[in-house]
Amino acid sequence: MDAIPIPQPGTTFLSYAATRAPATTSRQGDSLTVRQAGAAPLTLRLAEGRLTEGRLALTGPAGSGDAALRGLNAAIESAFAWHPELERLALDLGDGAGALAASLRRRGIAVETADAPLTVLPELFMQQAELWHGRPDLPAFPQRQVMTDGKRHPQRPPKPQGTVYARYIPWLEQTIAFRAATVEDDLGHLHKWMNDPRVAAFWNEDGDLEKHRRYLSGLIADPHMVPLIATFDGTPFAYFEIYWARENRLAPFYDVQDYDRGWHVVVGEDSYRGRSFISAWLPSLTHYMLLDDCRTQRIVGEPAAAHHQQIRNLETSGFVRIKTFDFPHKRAALVMLLRERFFFDRLWLPAATAPQPVASR
C-alpha cells in the first residue's frame, strides 16, 4: 500500500460528519482533544507501541452518556486515520468509567484480547454505522418476502432522504457525502453529466432534459434503486445508483443472495477524476452499502467485459472478477467484494495503485 499522508500535529479531524452536530478532534503532539456541542472537551493521549499497536488513554474526565461515547468514538476514528498502520488500539479509561467500558463491549467497539481488556480493532470499529450513516438510529428493516415482476425478494425499506453518508477524508482534507437525489435539486447535474461524451460512451443515456427527468423520476420511484449525488465539501461531482441485486437485471446471472447490493457510477466533474479522489469515493460507497444493512455480505458489479482498465481498477479496490456473461445489451464481467474482505483488509484506505474509472454501468 502506498504511504498515506498523515496530517501534521495541530490539524483537526471531523467525525459524525453526516449529523448536524459533528465532533472535532485536534492533535498536538501525542495529545488529542475532542470537542462537541453540549459537552466538555474530552482529552486523551495517544501512545504508539509496537509498529501496529497503539494505546489511547483518557487524561481527563470521560463525561457520561451519549456524549462520552461519541467523544471517544471520535478520538478512535481520528487515531486510526492519523495512524493507518495501527491494527489495534488499546484503551485506558482509568477508574470510574465502568459504564462507558460496558457500552463499548456491548456495541462491539472494543473487545477483550490478550494484550488489553479493552481493545479496538479497526475491522469492528468501521462497522459502527452511527459515525458515518445518515440515519444510524433506524434498525435493520424487518424481513418479509414479497414478489415484484416475478422476483421473490425481501420487502425493502422506504427510500432514504437527505444525507445518507458522510466521512472526512484525511488525505484530501475534505468531507465526502452522499445524499438522495431529487429531481428538483439534481436534474441539472444529471443532464449535464449524461451528455458528457466520456460518460455517454458507457451509459448511452445522453439526451434532452425531459428524457433525464423521466429517467431520474423513474429511479426515485423504484423501490430497489437508490440514486445518489456525491459531494466533496458540498460540491456535487458524481452520480451513483445503488441497487438491491435480487430485484435487478443482474440476478438471473449468478447465485444472488437477498441482501447483495450493486452500483453504477458517473464521475461527472473532470476535476474530481483521478487517484486521490477515487481512493475516497469508491471505498466510501462500498462502506455505505455495507453499513446500510448489516445483512449485506456482498457488493457486486457488472462492468463491460472489454473495459479492462476499469476491471483492473476494481480489482485494485478489492473486487474479484467472478466470470464473464452476456447481458442482452452487453458482454459483462461479474465482479464481487465480500464484506469480510472489505473490513478485515481495511479497504477503506487508499489502494496501492491508482484506479481511475470515469463511468460504470
- Please give the positions annotated as active site: 302
Q: Which three cell numbers stand for residue 137?
A: 438510529
Distance between alpha carbon 273 and the CA centroid of its chain, in Å? 18
Query: Do residues 177 and 28 lie in contact, with contact meaning Cβ atoms separated by under 8 Å?
Result: no
Q: Rounded to an integer, what distance in angstroms lies between the CA atom of residue 282 and that of residue 358?
A: 12
Distance CA 342, CA 287 (A): 8
Distance CA 229, CA 186 (A): 8
Cell numbers linked to 168: 472526512
Distance CA 4, CA 255 (A): 37
User: How many Cβ atoms from other residues are within 10 Å of residue 81's Cβ?
Assistant: 22
| Beta-bridge mates of residue 35 | 24
List the grid coordinates of 46: 495517544
Residues 6+ apart with CB under 8 A from 50: none
How many other CB atoms are found less than 10 A from the CB of residue 301? 24
Which long-range contacts (C-beta less than 8 Å, at least 24 apart) are formed by 239-242? 239/181, 239/186, 239/189, 239/190, 239/193, 239/265, 239/266, 239/268, 240/178, 240/264, 240/265, 240/266, 240/285, 241/265, 242/285, 242/288, 242/289
**What are the helix (H) ranges across the chain?**
65-82, 98-107, 122-125, 183-194, 197-203, 209-221, 275-292, 308-316, 339-344
Paired sense of beta strands 298-301 and 261-267, if any: parallel
> Do residues 30 and 46 make contact, with C-beta atoms less than 8 angstroms apart?
yes
